[in-house]
Amino acid sequence: MNPFLIDFNTPFDTVPFDKLEVEHYLPAIKEGIKQGLADVAAIVANTEPATFANTIEALEKSGDLVDLVSTVFFNLNSSETSDAIQALAKDISPLLSDYGNDIMLNEGLFKRVETVFNAKETFHLNAEQQTLLEKTYKSFVRNGSKLNDAQKEKLRIIDKEKSQASLTFEENVLAESNAYELVITNQADLSGLTEDTIEAAKLTAKEKGKENAWVFTLDYPSYIPFMTYSDNRVLKEQIFKAFASKGFKNNKNDNQAIVKKMANLRYERANLLGYKSHADFVLEERMAESPTKVMSFLTNLLDNSLSFAKKEKEELTAYSKSIGGPEELKRWDVPYYAEKLKKEKFAINDELLKPYFKLENVIQGVFDTAKKLYGLTFVQRFDIPLYHKDVTTYEVKNTQGEFMAVFYADFFPRASKRQGAWMTSYKNQKTKNGKNIRPHVSIVCNFTKPTENKPSLLTFDEVTTLFHEFGHALHGMCANTQYGSLSGTSVYWDFVELPSQILENWCYEKECLDLFAKHYITGEAIPEDYIHKIIDSANFQSGLATIRQIGLATLDMSWHSCNPSNIADIKAFETSVTSKTDLWPTVAESSTSCSFSHIFPGGYSSGYYSYKWAEVIDADAFEAFKEKGIFNKEVADSFLKNILSAGGSEHPSVLYRRFRGRDADPKALLRRAGLV
């Protein structure tokens, strides 16, 4: 029996991963589509006049099975994929594309939705209901409901091709990452590397069946330490070029044609719907509203940070020369000399700090932070089915001991998992038949694995990454809305990073670090002078970091605010649009676009600016905590009520003003970054 088609009979109705096989997905998807279309047909066939309840709410409640199966499937395609799953994705993706279009292009359904929208004043809706109605109506219009038949057919073709291209892009990046190995057999080539890094490389070699060798890969916990500490400039250049050229090698995994195809399909789709560009289409539903406002925002940030970045580059170059480094720093030199300079200026580096950041302690620290702020407790469960042995599950409870959420944590890299870190959900919070259905939330990361001799010890960047993704998870766990499509992280894309980015701030606070930063052997608390050094070094090269983000955001906006059919050469295009933010010599073999998963298969197309946009908001919001105490109950309760629990139930500007009493101060980010 297909597990998706019967009751799960698992704790908290969690997904029965232990019973799922690849062959279960396609039949379940087809059955889900059948049920979803039947739900829609019933709405259209209703002879009663269209109302909010029998049309908008009924549509919101439709398609539960197809939503569940597709969510599980595509989550696993990112975190625990296989050749079979990737092949199946190419069959499932067009089915889902057709299903979505069968709903959005259903004339009878749209007629009822439009009727309710035009008569909305007569239904006496509350704020969340008004948001759902407007979102539903706009979704139909923005997905072609007002097009003629020929245009609708063209839209269907575009959407199918887009979904297939997205899958191919991600598969190519993963294949490129897995194909590369830097195999070292000469111990002298390990010069400069830390003991932990060498031990991890030895373990990787052993796992890959290579004796008397050390293996480095393009996974972040392997790649970043090698670039940061290795004394071997030749090998650093080699692994850097392998990393930077993913999808840009004119081989079977090349993404150049895919990038152009995706950009062109998005442009065609936007034009078909009456928009000047994909960016214009996307930003209509964002706080930023338009490409002009985004570019003005980025330009203002650049004006405030470029001079700082140039001074930081000059300082790093001078330092490199002073210790016998190259006359001109190349991109593969920057992490190495930056780490040395940071250590010299602040007497601190990752190797000094890592013993205080044992993964299990950091996890408990983020749990304790959530408890002090929002009253949440996390109880590990051993009876919830897992999709991989490395995953850990928790039951989340509130201050009253009531069940709040299921939390999945998946921390270590593997060949079946894409790179990076992200939060996702297997089940959104919503109210159904008067019952508050609680969410099942997951964070997926690629942290340093434990070795045979040491536990997983995190770099400080990995600590902030864990807090960041956990902030997203809190947004999902604390959700308390009526409708699933407005729950948790279902908010404007340039607002979704607020809960994640604000939580990073606690990593720099002694009151928080004292909760978990303890030496993994002695149990000694992190010395206070180390904390001061973390704080003092927080803005080290913040100018360079800022313009790097501006450059990525500019590249994204450039792809999506123009007619991409005019782009002949991807590398030349990248070089031209990021000329103001690229301070280091260009590398001919590299291409950002060809592995820029955030903006191509990911959800950040025309939205990468949102990281910096949300930083402005999070810097301002954290000032509210700093004013009254980072664990102040009054401020935390307000943030919980107005931001975390509210999801997308109202416009984010309204929610933020309710929390802060005003709009965010744009200078808050500059103050925190030391750029004013």
pLDDT of residue 343: 94
Strands 377-381 and 440-444 turn out to be unpaired
Question: Catalytic residue numbers?
Answer: 469
Decide: 92 and 73 in contact? Cβ < 8 Å. Answer: yes
* Long-range pairs for 129-136: beta carbons < 8 A, 24 or more residues apart: 129/52, 129/56, 129/482, 131/486, 131/648, 131/649, 131/650, 131/651, 132/56, 132/57, 132/60, 132/482, 132/483, 132/485, 132/486, 133/52, 133/56, 135/485, 135/486, 135/648, 136/56, 136/59, 136/60
pLDDT of residue 671: 86
> How would DSSP label each residue in 577-641?
HTTTT--SPP-TT--SGGG-TTTTTSS-TTTTTHHHHHHHHHHHHHHHHHHH-TT-HHHHHHHII
Residues 252-277 as b or e (16 or more Cβ within 10 Å = b)? ebbbbebbbbbbbbbbbbbebbebeb
Classify residue 529 as exposed, middle or buried by CB count within 10 Å of its CB (0-12, 13-18, 19+): exposed
Compute the residue count for the chain: 676
Angle among Cα 84, 85, 87 to the nearest 5 degrees reads: 65
Tell me the domain boundaries of the chain.
Answer: 3-146, 180-244, 355-538
DSSP class of residue 441? E
Proportion of the chain above pLDDT 70, given as a percent: 100
pLDDT at 319 over 90: yes
pLDDT at 676 over 80: no
Tokens of 261: 């195809």
> How would DSSP label each residue in 395-424?
EEE-TTS-EEEEEEEE-S--TTS-SS-EEE
Q: Could you read off the pLDDT of 265-303 as tens digits, one per residue?
A: 999 999 999 999 999 999 999 999 999 999 999 999 999
Distance CA 85, CA 78 (A): 10
Distance CA 243, CA 546 (A): 22
Three-state SS annotation for 42-65: HHHHCCCCCCHHHHHHHHHCCCHH
Distance CA 207, CA 70 (A): 33
> How would DSSP label each residue in 179-230?
H--EEE--GGGGTT--HHHHHHHHHHHHHTT-TT-EEE-SSHHHHHHHHHH-
Strands 403-410 and 422-427 turn out to be unpaired
Confidence band for 313, pLDDT divided at 50, 70 and 90:
very high
pLDDT at 602 over 90: no
What's the average model confidence in pLDDT over 128-135?
98
Strands 430-432 and 422-427 turn out to be unpaired
Domain pair 3-146 / 355-538, same fold: no
From residue 314, give the alpha-carbon distance in Å to each of 50, 177, 498, 550, 582: 66, 33, 33, 20, 14
pLDDT of residue 467: 98
Strands 403-410 and 440-444 turn out to be parallel
pLDDT of residue 672: 87
Classify residue 375 as exposed, middle or buried by CB count within 10 Å of its CB (0-12, 13-18, 19+): middle
pLDDT at 339 over 80: yes
Confidence band for 603, pLDDT divided at 50, 70 and 90:
confident
DSSP class of residue 255? -
Distance CA 262, CA 56 (A): 32
pLDDT at 177 over 90: yes
Beta bridge mates, 214? 184
- Mean of the per-residue pLDDT values of the chain: 96
Classify residue 431 as exposed, middle or buried by CB count within 10 Å of its CB (0-12, 13-18, 19+): middle
pLDDT at 448 over 90: no
Q: Starting from the edge strand earliest in sequence, which strands make up the sheet with 377-381, in order? A: 377-381, 392-397, 403-410, 440-444, 422-427
pLDDT at 310 over 80: yes
Q: Which residues contact 569 (CB under 8 A, 6 or more apart)?
A: none
pLDDT of residue 674: 77
Beta bridge mates, 392? 409
Proportion of the chain above pLDDT 90, given as a percent: 96
Confidence band for 613, pLDDT divided at 50, 70 and 90:
very high
Residue 329 corresponds to which amino acid?
L
Q: Could you read off the pLDDT of 6-39 as tens digits, one per residue?
A: 999 999 999 999 999 999 999 999 999 999 999 9
pLDDT of residue 244: 97
Does the domain formed by 355-538 have CATH 1.10.1370.40?
A: yes
Tokens of 431: 């109210």
Selected from 3.10.20.340, 1.10.287.3510, 3.40.50.10490, 1.20.1050.40, the CATH number assigned to the domain covering 3-146 reads 1.20.1050.40
From residue 339, give the alpha-carbon distance in Å to each of 311, 350, 466: 17, 9, 21
Q: Could you read off the pLDDT of 34-70 as tens digits, one per residue?
A: 999 999 999 999 999 999 999 999 999 999 999 999 9
pLDDT of residue 673: 80
Place of tokens 């109210």: 431
Q: Whose CA is closest to 132, among 55, 75, 47, 56?
A: 56
Place of tokens 């359904």: 109
Distance CA 333, CA 233 (A): 7
Give the H or E element holding residue 573. helix 570-577
> How would DSSP label each residue in 350-368?
HHHHGGG-BHHHHHHHHHH
Distance CA 254, CA 247 (A): 4
Confidence band for 666, pLDDT divided at 50, 70 and 90:
confident
Decide: 192 and 229 in contact? Cβ < 8 Å. Answer: yes
Q: Which residues contact 30 (CB under 8 A, 6 or more apart)?
A: 95
pLDDT at 675 over 90: no
Distance CA 365, CA 99 (A): 43
pLDDT of residue 430: 97
For CA atoms 203, 207, 212, 213, the dihedral sign is negative
Distance CA 74, CA 17 (A): 14
> How would DSSP label each residue in 70-132?
HHHHHHHHHHS--HHHHHHHHHHHHHHHHHHHHHHT-HHHHHHHHHHHHTGGGG---HHHHHH
Residues 598-630 as b or e (16 or more Cβ within 10 Å = b)? bbbbbebbbbbbbbbbbbbbbbbbbbbbeeeeb
From residue 374, give the alpha-carbon distance in Å to each of 12, 117, 262, 505, 649: 22, 37, 42, 16, 20
Distance CA 473, CA 123 (A): 34
pLDDT of residue 649: 97
pLDDT of residue 452: 85
Distance CA 378, CA 363 (A): 10
Distance CA 567, CA 545 (A): 28
Tokens of 235: 């090998």
Q: Which runs of consecutive H residues, i.e. helices, occur in 448-563?
A: 460-477, 498-504, 510-516, 528-536, 542-560
Tokens of 15: 């997904």
